[in-house]
Structure 1
Amino acid sequence: MHNVLRRDPADTTITVDGETLTHADLYERAAALADRLTGAGPVAVVAHPTLQTVVAIVAGLHAGVPVVPVPPDSGPTELRHILTDSRATVLLDGGSSTDLPVPSAPATAGETALILYTSGTTGPPKGAELSAAAIAADLDALAEAWQWTPDDTLAHGLPLYHVHGLVLGVLGALRTGCRLVHTGRPVPARYAAAGATLYFGVPTVWSRVAADPACARALRPARLLVSGSAALPGPVFAALHALTGHRPVERYGMTETLITVSARADGPRRPGAVGTALPGVETRVAPEPGQAVGELQVRGRTLFNGYAHRADATRNAYTADGWFRTGDAATIDANGVHRILGRMKGDLIKSGGFRIGAGEVEDALLTHPAVREVAVLGRPDDDLGEEIIAFVVADPVTADALITHVATTLSKHKRPRKVVFLDALPRNHMGKIQKHRLL
């Protein structure tokens, strides 16, 4: 089955929003659909949180054709771009199938199992081509790191068109052969009712779980809580630990690289740290002279094949010596533990001759009891080069109090020069703060 999924699922079940199939029944349905897809070009699947979506995606993998998951809330412009750019020949939506105009140069199956579209901050999304080999290598490395076995029950309610919800949250369960409960929506009450040993969530999900103590305590019998897709705020980490007894595992990755760095089930888990490189992955930080902070660069067997039909973009994503440029600012300590400080563009602020990670300032602000959410950016300044601005969601507190708090928590030059109070920070559907909308 495109060398990704287990073939001996026995009677293990998968449940999506209350509907259940055994793995064996899922594969039987997928095989029947695969007969209609074999030989097609890329197959686009509108990724509703349903069993039909899982069947369609597994069918594409079974048929050996690239699968293009599409967000179900895509507007007409986004949908047209994904279908055109991927050169999809079939669109599956629920129980319906639509043949698309045959592209002038349809993609061949080759080594591509999935084409996942990235949510870049500039320009239209690009399709990252992921091979079956890369997916399998990543899932096996995570299974080892998280001690993930067929005895687990995985629960999450994440979208089925991204790495986190689809590759880890569905294909991961199918590859390990464990039971899966997809909650339909990632709400605390559904997580609490899932009775799982392993839970996946993004920081927004974990923040809402922590704000519901009864639901949070219901997760105490679990084995592992995993957070990803964005940095987990320190106060949320602490609240989860207090309520559930678990210190969450944080991990790091991108659509183009899959998950490359993670804390371990049997290792230390610290707020703000995303662990060490997984087996088969190498990492390095490329700082400028005299600086500890630099761009995180990775290479290894989990990396993508390239951007669909964009050779120049693929080439520009790598250094001359073959390392993928993540665009994220990071540090790696003597024990190999990684900390992600934000994006090199926007999150690595050059102020007064210093290079300051926005994430470090955000973490300091979040230790103030009045602060609930924060985003830190650099804004061009004639004197400093860039001045640090903090956008804050908080209980009543003054800007001066927050500036002083940072100045006494970190070096003085890392304090914000301005604080802007907001009712909420702009976020995308994965809970990531959209900083480009703030300035």
Structure 2
Amino acid sequence: MDAPLSPPLFPALAAPTGRPALRCGPDALSYEELARAAGALAARIAGSGRVAVWAAPTARTAVAVVAALLAGVPAVPLNPRSGERELAHILGDSAPELVLAGPAEELPAPLAALPRVDVELEGAEAGAVPPPAGAGPESTALIVYTSGTTGPPKGVLLSRRAVAASLDALAEAWAWTADDVLVHGLPLFHVHGLVLGILGPLRRGGEVRHLGGFSAEGVTRELASGGTMLFGVPTMYHRLADALPGDPALVEALSGARLLVSGSAALPVRDHERIAAATGRTVVERYGMSETLMNTSVRPGGPPRPGTVGTPLPGVEVRLVEEDGSVLGGSDGETVGEVQVRGPNLFSGYLNRPDATEAAFDGGVAGGWFRTGDMAVREAGGTIRLVGRKATDLIKSGGYKIGAGEIENALLDHPGVREAAVTGEPDPDLGERIVAWVVPADPADPPADAELADHVARLLAPHKRPRVVRLLDSLPRNDLGKVLKKRLPRG
């Protein structure tokens, strides 16, 4: 018996109308136009094994990915900023049969051997797009590569089931409907910008306006002209917070938005407070990763929860686990455990890596708990507060388990600190000592080490104060604004 087909990922394309679907820079497509463009491309690539997508921040990237999904062909989004070695690894691992790219895109050498299909924004015929042949709920929709911070990037297999489940859970939590107009300027090779930011609005039948490149001016323009939601990462919200005091138009635009969402890293409490004070709007944080899509979210309309990522989304189970495997109970806001997740939002495994897949789950892929590697505490009401990554942000000092994230937030609360990162390093007495990497607000007059240590001790606890402070001009970050702690200078 044939496997059942999954329901369409984009119901609005089944009976397309002239309603706006997508705008990116000068390019705008209605649902009818998107159905024509993506439908024509889907017909060309149907039957392919896998297709790579040159994921530049353009409307053509959205058309390419939608076409692959309509054709039932797994899409491999490629970061245009990847180096040749990383790109060669991804292509060798995923073995796509062809690459989809805009006609004007110049592709690097590793892609030269692949047949190329240019993505056009026009299609031959209007009308409904037929469902893909053989695309069941468990068939792979996307292969998204991890950032490769602990080795070569791994291909995360995201099924149609996982994409639909995660987007529908967010729709329920955020009251996300076809009437919403999403504004964002995130990269389109990652789950935040692509799955949430492009596929999310299209699944709802709403509109997405991509800025091409992030700017406060673009945010102001699009929110002031009908945008209802804004997605961003902490770096973007930090820049908006900096711009608010001198930009009344930005204040008005953010004040009128229905929903402001931040993700991919923790938004510092100070930026939460600055935006809320200027606009009356609370930024909602959510928590997810490539392997799980979205796990938790602060609920709009509820009490402000700066520094937390809310409670589990519908259908998602979250637990905190000790190093010995025991499950933590209670909500004391202090006891740190690893976040483990279970639900229909989970990935199907790592491409070509059964060993890594098995190691990532407690209890097996089918029905097991995914070990996220993130450390968190559970606060009153079940709210999750992340404190860092197990590999780089869990510091064991003087018999205490300390999360780097809460110390970073405390440092950012000091007026003399513009950016901060916290790590641990070996200490003969403490086991590990806390090291603060600080970008001062005024490089000519940085705060004294003892002043910062006392500041943290006063806000948190004496054992959480930095023992070493190192000043930097800037922190190393990736494309989504996450600090790359492994690239911090040693010594």
- CA positional deviation for 1:98: 7.3
**Is residue 440 of structure 2 the alignment partner of residue 394 of structure 1?**
yes
Q: Secondary structure at the match of 1:219?
A: helix
The letter for the 2-side match of 1:406 is V
Aligned equivalents of 1:217 and 1:391: distance in 2?
A: 35
Q: CA deviation at 1:39?
A: 0.9
Offset at 1:287?
2.0
3-state DSSP of counterpart to 1:378: strand
Q: Does 1:416 align with 2:462?
A: no
CA distance in 2, matches of 1:92, 1:189: 31
| Residue 26 (structure 1) aligned with residue 26 (structure 2) | no
In the alignment, structure 1 residue 284 sits paired with structure 2 residue 334: no
Partner of 1:76: 84
The Cα shift of 1:99 comes to: 6.9
**Take 1:408 and 1:73, find their aligned partners in 2: how far apart are those partners?**
42
Give the Cα–Cα distance (whole angstroms) in 2 for the partners of residues 216 and 241 of structure 1: 10
Q: What is residue 387 of structure 2 aligned with on the other side?
A: 341
> Please, which moves more after superposition, 336-345 or 289-298?
289-298
Residue in structure 2 matched with residue 104 of structure 1 by the alignment: none
Query: Is the CA contact 2:53–2:100 (under 8 Å) kept in the aligned structure 1?
Result: yes
Match for residue 230 of structure 2? 199
| Cα deviation 1:212-254 (Å, max 9, x = unaligned) | 1113442211111000000000111111112222110000011
Greater shift in the superposed pair: 3-12 or 24-33: 3-12
Aligned with 1:15: secondary structure? Answer: strand
Greater shift in the superposed pair: 29-38 or 287-296? 287-296
Q: Does 290-299 or 231-240 show the bigger shift?
A: 290-299
Partner residue, 1:188: 216
**Alpha-carbon distance between aligned partners in 2 of 1:266 and 1:216, rounded to the nearest angstrom:** 19
Q: How far apart are the structure 1 equivalents of 2:81 and 2:148?
A: 17
Letter in 2 for 1:100: L
Match of 1:309 in 2: 352
Tell me the amino acid that sits aligned with residue 6 of structure 1.
P
2:163 paired residue among 104, 112, 135: 135
* CA distance in 1: counterparts of 2:457 and 2:420, whole angstroms: 16
SS in 1 for 2:171: helix
Q: Is residue 2:149 matched to residue 1:121?
A: yes
Structure 1 range deviating more: 389-398 or 248-257: 389-398
1:217–1:243 Cα contact (<8 Å) kept: no
Matched, 1:262 2:297: yes
- Where does residue 175 of structure 2 map in the other structure? 147
Partners of 1:19 and 1:421 lie apart in 2 by 44
- Cα displacement (A) at 1:34: 0.9
| Contact residue 146 and residue 264 of structure 1 kept, 8 A | yes
- Of 320, 327, 331, the residue aligned with 2:373 is 327
Q: Does 1:378 align with 2:424?
A: yes
TM superposition shift of 1:320: 3.2
Which of 8, 15, 18 pairs up with 1:11? 18
Residue aligning to 1:235: 270
CA displacement, residues 272-307 of structure 1 (integer Å, 9 cap, x when unaligned): 110000011000000247981110000000000111
Cα deviation 1:21-68 (Å, max 9, x = unaligned)? 102211211111111111111100000111111111111001101000
Q: In the alignment, residue 141 of structure 2 is paired with which amino acid?
A: A
Asked if the contact 2:251–2:279 (Cα under 8 Å) also holds between the matched residues in 1, the reply is: yes
Distance across 1 between alignment mates of 2:203 and 2:37:
17
CA-to-aligned-CA distance 1:292-335 (integer Å, 9 cap, x gap): 11100000000001111111110000113621000000112241
The CA distance in 2 between the partners of 1:155 and 1:69, in whole Å, is 21
Give me the identity figure in percent: 54
TM-score by length of 2: 0.85
Letter in 2 for 1:204: T
Q: Which amino acid aligns with 2:149?
A: T
Aligned-pair CA distance for 1:72: 1.3
Quote the residue 1:100 is aligned against. Answer: 114
CA separation in 1, counterparts of 2:47 and 2:113?
Answer: 13
**RMSD value over aligned CA atoms?**
1.8
Q: Which amino acid aligns with 1:59?
A: A
What amino acid sits opposite 1:329 in the alignment?
A: M
Contact 1:90 1:98 in 2 (8 A): no
Count of residue correspondences? 433
Superposed, 1:50-69 pairs within 5 Å as: 50-69=58-77
Match of residue 297 from structure 1: 340
1:43 has 2:51 as partner: yes
Does 1:218 pair with 2:215? no
User: 1:27 and 1:98, CA in 2 relative to 1: closer, same or farther beyond 3 A?
Assistant: farther
User: Deviation at 1:74?
Assistant: 2.0
8 A contact 2:228–2:258 mirrored in 1: yes
8 Å contact from structure 1 (residues 41, 90) kept in 2: no
